[in-house]
Amino acid sequence: MEYRVEKDIMGKVNVPANKYWGAQTQRSLNNFKIGGRMPLEVIYAFAILKKAAALTNFRLGVLDQERTEMICTVCEEILGKKLNDNFPLVIYQTGSGTQSNMNVNEVIANRGNEIAGKKLLHPNDHVNKSQSSNDTFPTAMHIAAYMLLKTKLFPAMDRMIETLDKLEMDNANVIKTGRTHLQDAVPITLGQEISGWKSMLVHSREMIEVSMKEMKELALGGTAVGTGLNAHKDFGKLSAEKIAELTGIDFISAGNKFHSLSSMDAIVFSHGALKTLAADMMKIANDVRWMASGPRCGLGEIFIPANEPGSSIMPGKVNPTQCEAVTMVSVRVMGNDTVMGISSSQGNFELNVFMPVMISSYIESVNLLGEAIESFNNNCLKGIKPNYEKLEENSKKSLMIVTALNPYIGYEKAAIVAKHAYNENIPLLEAGVELGFFNKDQYDQWVNPKNMV
pLDDT digits (tens, 9 = 90+) for 32-67: 999 999 999 999 999 999 999 999 999 999 999 999
Average pLDDT over residues 413-435: 95
Rounded to whole angstroms, the Cα distance separating 67 from 116 reads 10
* Domain locations along the chain: 3-129, 135-225+256-388, 398-451
Average pLDDT over residues 432-445: 95
State in Å, rounded, how far the first CA of the chain is from the last one.
Answer: 72
What sign has the CA pseudo-torsion 313, 317, 318, 321? Answer: negative
According to the model, what pLDDT value does residue 186 have? Answer: 94
> Could you say which of 203, 232, 311, 345 is catalytic?
311
CATH number of 3-129: 1.10.275.10
Average pLDDT over residues 92-119: 98
According to the model, what pLDDT value does residue 395 have? Answer: 87
> Which parts of 216-302 fold into alpha helices (H)?
235-247, 257-262, 265-291
> Percentage of the chain with pLDDT > 70?
100
Cβ neighbours around 262 below 10 Å, total: 23
According to the model, what pLDDT value does residue 211 have? Answer: 97
Average pLDDT over residues 292-320: 90
Q: Band of the pLDDT at 317, cuts 50, 70, 90?
A: confident
pLDDT of 309 higher than 90: no
Average pLDDT over residues 332-357: 97
pLDDT of 310 higher than 90: no
302 beta partners: 386
Rg (CA), the chain: 30
Q: Indicate the helix (H) or strand (E) that contains 367.
A: helix 355-379
> What pTM was estimated for this model as a whole?
0.95
226-230, 292-296, 328-332: range with lowest mean pLDDT: 292-296
pLDDT of 316 higher than 90: no
> Does the domain spanning 135-225+256-388 belong to CATH 1.10.260.40?
no
> Percentage of the chain with pLDDT > 90?
93
Determine whether 311 is an active site residue.
Answer: yes
Q: What angle do CA 249, 253, 258 make, to 5 degrees?
A: 140
Average pLDDT over residues 230-237: 98
Cβ neighbours around 295 below 10 Å, total: 14
> Could you say which of 100, 126, 181, 330 is catalytic?
181
Torsions phi, psi of 15, nearest 5? -125, 140
Domain made up of 398-451: CATH architecture:
Orthogonal Bundle (1.10)
Rounded to whole angstroms, the Cα distance separating 212 from 145 reads 9
Torsions phi, psi of 381, nearest 5? -55, -45
According to the model, what pLDDT value does residue 314 have? Answer: 85
pLDDT of 132 higher than 90: yes
Rounded to whole angstroms, the Cα distance separating 427 from 93 reads 68
Same fold, 3-129 and 135-225+256-388: no
Cα 302 from chain centroid (whole Å): 28
